[in-house]
Amino acid sequence: MINLEPPKKAGALVNQAYQAAAEVFRPISRKYDRAEHTYPAELDMFASLLDGLNSSGEGGAGASGIRKDDKSDGAAGNRNGGNLSTVLGTIEMCWGDVGLLLSMPRQGLGNAAIASVANDEQLERFANIWAAMAITEPGCGSDSAAITTTAQKDGDHYVLNGEKIFVTAGQRADAVVVWATLDKSKGRAGIKSFVVEKGTPGFEVERVEHKLGIRASDTAVLRFENCRVPKENLLGSPEIDTKSGFAGVMQTFDNTRPLVAAMAIGVARAALEETARVLAAAGVTVDYDKPANSQHAAAAAYLELEADYESAYLLTMESAWMADNRKPNSLQASMAKAKAGRSVVDITLRCVELAGAVGYTEDSLLEKWSRDAKILDIFEGTQQIQQLIVARKVLGKTSAELK
């Protein structure tokens, strides 16, 4: 039975994450929104603390993975493990600032990929690196299976050639998990992921993008030109399995999409709390004991936004709980990502509207949150792609049958 209430054992973690967001992230949020591409040095000490939390097994707001070889099963009852803890921590941290969370050392999406599909030797070898994730290409966005970056075997190395765009933490990270194809004729099955460390000859950061939101986080364009990567850096099996070869790299999304949903929930909650404060200062009271249609129009609108927030929150909790209990959660992960991504955009924009001039100026963080929100509906699979995945799962269609 799924219990969607936060587990009691996560209480300390949630409180720690909230305190960090309130004391570390929120005070410097506007500073690094204005100082785009400047690394937030305040994060270094906090990242070390988070490393300690993760290594102790307490979880945190960082990257965790779904391990296929986990020996636990459902015999002992429901489990509330690392995925749920990470989601809860992520919500709190993004209540503080989502761009700063994305700038946290050693907590990149590439770390989640390593945690999910690396073997034991790789887990140990890459334990202390900060890894970004490089999937999107100039001619390949939502269809990850259409990537053209190639990896050719050459003795004890793979030679990578191609270009990746919109790589979060691509400039600052120590390494990048790169998706490349071993054999284009094999389609999806030929795609593998490789850990490419900074300083590898043939690996170049071409530029860093200027963005609408999450300005504290760097987003880079990467080029690989005859980049030689040790064969030991291929994550998972090097064999091409035409039946399930793509599953290894795709399972990372089942883990990271709930995290992006959690980011959206944190931003939405921040906007709702600030809007409630602005409304209260203007004399508008939200009464939960009265029907919405008998209250002030602003209060009725606020109640509607809160309901939208709650539904996204519950979907996200469900998808994380399923991951912890080793239940297939591709459908639920996509539902959570789609709902939370859409909701945070709607909620933050409506909050700007409800707050009036206050919401439109830099005197409040509401306008910043509305800018930050949009990327949460785009990366890790756009709104449209999530809806397509959900439709395929519900209708029992393959990717070839429903495009």
153, two tokens: 């075997």
Average pLDDT over residues 264-273: 98
* 91-148: pLDDT as tens digits: 999 999 999 999 999 888 888 888 878 899 999 999 889 999 999 999 887 777 789 9
pLDDT at 249: 57
Q: Which range (76-80, 281-285, 368-372) has the least confidence?
A: 76-80
pLDDT at 96: 97
Query: Parallel, antiparallel, or unpaired for β 219-230 and 234-235?
Result: unpaired
Contacts 24+ apart (CB under 8 A), 223-226: 223/162, 223/163, 223/164, 224/149, 224/160, 224/161, 224/162, 224/163, 224/164, 224/178, 224/196, 225/161, 226/159, 226/161, 226/202
Q: Check whether 53 has a pLDDT greater than 80.
A: no
d(CA 336, CA 261): 6
| Of the candidates 192, 129, 206, the residue with the CA atom closest to the CA atom of residue 160 | 192
CATH architecture entry for 8-124: Orthogonal Bundle (1.10)
Mean pLDDT (the chain) is 89
Q: To the nearest whole percent, how much of the chain has pLDDT over 90?
A: 69
Average pLDDT over residues 62-75: 51
d(CA 305, CA 310): 9
Q: Are 339 and 319 in contact (CB under 8 A)?
A: no
Average pLDDT over residues 320-343: 94
* 369-399: pLDDT as tens digits: 999 999 999 998 899 999 999 999 999 998 8
Domain 247-395 superfamily per CATH: Butyryl-CoA Dehydrogenase, subunit A, domain 3 (1.20.140.10)
Helices (H), 97-220: 98-102, 109-117, 120-125
Amino acid sitting at position 300? A
Residue 314 or residue 141, greater confidence: 314
**Taking the domains of the chain in order of start, what are their residue ranges?**
8-124, 129-235, 247-395
pLDDT at 60: 47
The residue written with tokens 């070869």 in the block is 245
30, two tokens: 């506007």
Confidence of residue 242 (pLDDT cuts 50, 70, 90): low
pLDDT at 51: 65
Catalytic center residues: 380
pLDDT at 72: 47
Q: Which range (57-61, 106-110, 157-161, 205-209) has the least confidence?
A: 57-61
Residue 279 or residue 44, greater confidence: 279
Q: Check whether 256 has a pLDDT greater than 80.
A: yes
A 10 A CB-CB count for 208 gives 16
Residues 6+ apart with CB under 8 A from 107: 47, 50, 61, 62, 63, 101, 130
d(CA 206, CA 211): 16
Q: Check whether 280 has a pLDDT greater than 80.
A: yes
A 10 A CB-CB count for 123 gives 14
Q: Check whether 305 has a pLDDT greater than 80.
A: yes
Q: Check whether 182 has a pLDDT greater than 50.
A: yes
Q: Which range (54-58, 282-286, 375-379) has the least confidence?
A: 54-58
Q: Which range (325-329, 331-335, 369-373) has the least confidence?
A: 325-329
Average pLDDT over residues 266-283: 98
Q: Where are the beta strands (DSSP E) in 42-156?
A: 131-134, 150-154
A 10 A CB-CB count for 287 gives 12
pLDDT at 116: 79
d(CA 163, CA 150): 10
CATH number given to 129-235: 2.40.110.10
Confidence of residue 194 (pLDDT cuts 50, 70, 90): very high
The residue written with tokens 């937030």 in the block is 40
Q: To the nearest whole percent, how much of the chain has pLDDT over 70?
A: 89
